[in-house]
Structure 1
């Protein structure tokens, strides 16, 4: 199992490639640039937390987390905005390890929940999140996992 760690600036070219691969998987064309990733992950006001799965030949996957809030309840949360594992590394528990690291990160930030959305047709991802302890909360589908 490759180690999961916070991304550093030198990871951005590989993360960019992975983000483009995720977009292609969904039939989209990614327009994100390295400059935008650097701004949003390492700029003066970071918007995204990136966790990466590092292997011997580079990054095998990443998780991108964005803050959320339920102000009326005073509840902090995180959205697992992206989770991607490259084709050659799937089926080895890397996605699960990235999710666990994302949950740990959210808990360390005082969050009481993590949300994630999937494409309505992506039954595999929906099953994956259910198996990881997430509950479906909307029909589009969106999932949430409460943290202790």
Structure 2
């Protein structure tokens, strides 16, 4: 189940996931979904997933897609699943008229950075971002 994989990804990064099944269903299955999930299945269940969120550069009229999560189970890594999920994500974005896709990695995750470079992504300097909680 994607919920289990999302929790595994959080644990991998040292986070404690608070995602619930109800929240995942709301964000993926509502009449206006907040995100799109692409999954990779194997004989024993889900092997990985990609979570995609739309973006916009309004001043340029440019649609984009953020590859918010990409996760492949430990036992399935090195078999091309991540690459296949990225390719599916790129096709999904193109089909929705996107002209770019973004993805972020932990600054210390050199393996992921190399993976995205090999997949054709260019490293960019992130803009300063600010955040305010909306109670």
Shorter-chain TM-score: what band? Answer: over 0.9
How far apart are residue 45 of structure 1 and its match?
1.8
Match of 1:127 in 2: 114
- Give every structure 1 segment of 4 or more consecutive aligned residues whose post-TM-superposition deviation is greater than 2 Å: none
- The answer as to 2:55 corresponding to 1:71 is no
Relative contact order (C-alpha < 8 Å, sep 6+): which is higher?
1
Q: TM-score normalized by structure 2?
A: 0.92
* 2:35 aligned partner: 48
| Structure 1 residues not aligned, in runs of 5+ | 1-13, 141-148
CA distance in 2, matches of 1:70, 1:106: 15
Q: Does residue 1:27 correspond to 2:18, yes or no?
A: no
Take 1:95 and 1:67, find their aligned partners in 2: how far apart are those partners?
20
Whole-Å separation in 2 of the counterparts to 1:109 and 1:29: 33
Is 1:118 the equivalent of 2:105?
yes
Matched, 1:82 2:60: no
Distance apart, 1:120 and its partner CA: 0.4
Alpha-carbon displacement from aligned partner over 1:16-51 (angstroms, at most 9, x marks no partner): 000000000000000000000000001122010000
CA distance in 2, matches of 1:82, 1:56: 23
CA distance in 2, matches of 1:139, 1:38: 31
- Report how many residues are paired: 127
TM-score normalised by length of structure 1? 0.84
RMSD value over aligned CA atoms? 1.0
Residues in 2 aligned to 1:138 and 1:26: alpha-carbon distance in whole angstroms: 22
Q: Which has the higher strand share?
A: 1
Query: Can you list the C-alpha shifts for 1:54-98, whole angstroms capped at 9, x where unaligned?
Result: 111000000000000000000000000000000000000000000
